[in-house]
Amino acid sequence: MSFSFESMANSSNSYLVQRILERYTETLGGPRSVAALSSLSIEGYQVQDGTSYQFLMRKKRPNSIRYRLTADETSIVCGFNGRQGWQRTKVGGEVTIEDLSTDQLSALRDEADFDSPLIHHLEKSWNQIFLVGNEQLGDTYVNVLEVKKFRKPFVRYYLNPSSGLVLKRVQIHPDGSFGLETQYRDYREIAGYQFAFEVENRIGDQLVSLVRIETIEVNPGLLSFYFEKPKN
């Protein structure tokens, strides 16, 4: 009897997860619209450690990214071309170029990925998704999905059950503790896609960064050499 009840519970959980993911994909315009999103150009401001930076992020499918922060005479540019990650720092007239550390590269690679684990999840062999339950987030009760990577908790997504939009994302460390928490607010539709124009990152009670987006350009047609490591 215990086996039967467990099987029924797993089946019910799988059905609910599938319905939540279908709603999420519908919010993005459906599978065809997701696949048609090949590049992005996003500009705005990012507040970090009390300093306001102007930023420009450009991404190109499948996994290339270039991110620039600028404040006064300081400019920091990080890039990843799908193989190599690098950082170019300019302070006044002095320029340094170096490869990213393992942790920095991992974070940038994750940011470069166009499709979250919630997209086409059945096609990802490392990917398992479970419904943790419902939780109150502000004035809204949200669906909480946990993604496991190679059978270990990896990240949690908090989705609005009505709109299907992701309102919060929390990274999970290998030991099970929570890491970076990202909240997404002020969603707007651009070229048929939904984008959060305010993104807040926290670790516990500490504010890591607050991003406010001004403009988003969909499929601007970026060339691959733009993401290569610069020589100077």
Given this model, what pLDDT does residue 106 score? 85
Given this model, what pLDDT does residue 76 score? 94
What mean pLDDT is predicted for residues 172-193? 92
What lies within 8 Å, CB to CB, of 78 at 6+ separation is 65, 66, 67, 85, 86, 87, 88, 100, 104, 108
Q: What are the structural domains, with CATH classification, of the chain?
A: 2-227 (2.50.20.10)
What mean pLDDT is predicted for residues 82-91? 94
What mean pLDDT is predicted for residues 69-90? 94
Lowest mean pLDDT among 4-13, 35-44, 185-194, 196-205: 4-13
pLDDT in tens, 8-34: 344 457 889 999 999 998 888 888 888
Residue 2 has pLDDT above 50, yes or no: no
Residue 45 has pLDDT above 50, yes or no: yes
Residue 1 has pLDDT above 70, yes or no: no
Given this model, what pLDDT does residue 198 score? 98
> Which tokens hold the place of 221?
């047609």
Lowest mean pLDDT among 75-84, 115-124, 187-196, 204-213: 115-124
Given this model, what pLDDT does residue 3 score? 41
What mean pLDDT is predicted for residues 73-85? 93
How does residue 85 score in pLDDT terms, banded at 50, 70 and 90? very high
pLDDT in tens, 97-143: 999 998 888 888 888 888 888 887 777 777 889 999 999 998 889 99
Residue 18: C-alpha distances to residues 27, 121, 122, 149, 219 (Å): 14, 10, 10, 18, 29
pLDDT in tens, 140-181: 899 999 998 887 778 999 999 999 999 999 999 888 899 999
Number of H helices and E strands in the chain, helices first, is: 3, 13
What is d(CA 167, CA 123) in angstroms, rounded to the nearest whole number?
A: 24
What lies within 8 Å, CB to CB, of 44 at 6+ separation is 54, 55, 197, 211, 212, 213, 214, 215
pLDDT in tens, 29-42: 888 888 899 999 99
